[in-house]
Amino acid sequence: MKKIVLITGATAGIGEAIAKLLAKNDYKLIITGRRLERLEELRNSLAADTDIHILNFDIRNETEVENAINSLPAEWKEIDVLINNAGLAVGLNHINDGVIDDWERMIDTNIKGLLYITRFVSPIMVQNKQGHIVNISSIAGKEIYEYGNVYGATKHAVDALSRAIRIDLVKDGIKVTNIAPGMVDTEFSLVRFKGDKKRADKVYSGFTPLFGEDIAETVLFTLQQPAHVNLNDIVIMPTAQAAISVIHRA
Ligand code: NDP
Ligand code: 8X3
């Protein structure tokens, strides 16, 4: 029987790449995000490969998250894998110039959103005495960079939550994997710079960054381990990025 994987933030970047790869590898997918047209396009493009169910909600809204999980038909309820991917960085400022609304968006999405969905999906896994939660953290959850204050704090929180959730759920046979990528060329910087494409493109110029597909391959490898093996924590970087702020550009 195909496993059911719920991917948050499947409308772009890493989440979309994970959906495309898992669809071709015998998983049924619940894809989520705020942009419904993109979810529908993705479902249509993958329909020949697997069954896809759409949940359209804002992960910052606890009620929307709870209603979305409660709305799942019986044949989609028994979620085997939760991929906590939805997230974002907004702005790049020293703390004294920080935009409080940017901070709220990052904290509400990256920490509180991840907590909400984990709160509503993990009881299903506990009931079934099996499951796998994969948290997409970041190298920014391991290291600190100038101007990255609040984004880094949210990703350090994800890193801590991965370890805490693993401890909480070990008795229920549930795996928890933390994946910490370096720079991945997605819509991430476009979102961070509020649509300034020129500024976003600069982030990935002069070296080969990671792509969503690289993280998708890592997720697939993680899911394919035997039942007794859990990959706790994976740091994956572009070859040209030696540390969070050390990038060798041509
Ligand atoms: P993208 O901007 O390409 O994709 C982000 C995804 O998150 C979108 O599908 C978006 O969907 C979803 N999302 C954002 N806010 C919300 C919300 N409020 N409710 C529901 N979904 C939301 O970025 P990436 O693919 O790069 O980012 C994915 C994850 O990877 C993030 O957690 C990010 O922090 C992390 N990461 C990224 C790195 C990078 O360099 N790109 C490096 C390390 C980690 P929609 O807008 O449709 O709601
Ligand atoms: C994103 C990594 O270094 O671009 O999580 O902020 S970085």
Residue-wise pLDDT tens digits, 67-94? 999 999 999 999 999 999 999 999 999 9
Q: How many domains does the chain have?
A: 1
Residue-by-residue DSSP string for 139-207? GGGTS--TT-HHHHHHHHHHHHHHHHHHHHHGGGTEEEEEEEE--EESSHHHHHTTT-HHHHHHHTTTS
Q: CA distances (Å), 80 to each of 20, 192, 218, 229, in order? A: 18, 32, 18, 16
- For the beta carbon of residue 222, count every other beta carbon within 10 angstroms: 19
With beta carbons less than 8 A apart as the criterion, state whether 66 and 91 touch.
Answer: no
In angstroms, the CA 88 to CA 233 distance is 20
pLDDT confidence bin for 157, thresholds 50/70/90: very high
Please name which ligand lies nearest the alpha carbon of 214: 1
pLDDT confidence bin for 44, thresholds 50/70/90: very high
DSSP element (H, E) containing 59: none
Instruction: Give every CB contact of residue 123 below 8 A, 6+ residues apart in sequence.
Output: none
Mapping DSSP to helix (H, G, I), strand (E, B) and coil, where does residue 84 land?
strand
Residue 147 a catalytic site member: no
CATH number of the domain within which 135 lies? 3.40.50.720
The alpha helices in the chain, defined as continuous H runs, are 13-23, 36-46, 62-70, 74-77, 100-106, 114-128, 149-169, 188-192, 197-203, 212-223
Q: Which domain holds residue 35?
A: 3-247
Ligand 1 site residues (CB inside 6 A) read 9-15, 33-35, 58-60, 85-88, 109, 136, 138, 181, 183-184, 186-188, 191
In terms of pTM, does the model score above 0.85? yes
Ligand 1, residue 190: give the atom nearest the CA.
Answer: 2
Please name which ligand lies nearest the alpha carbon of 7: 1
Segment 16-43 shows an average pLDDT of: 98
CA 82–ligand 1 middle distance (angstroms): 15
Q: What is the pLDDT of residue 204?
A: 97
Average pLDDT value for the chain? 98
The rounded percent of the chain whose pLDDT value lies above 70 is: 100
Ligand 1, residue 9: give the atom nearest the CA.
Answer: 9
Segment 106-120 shows an average pLDDT of: 99
Q: What is the pLDDT of residue 78?
A: 98
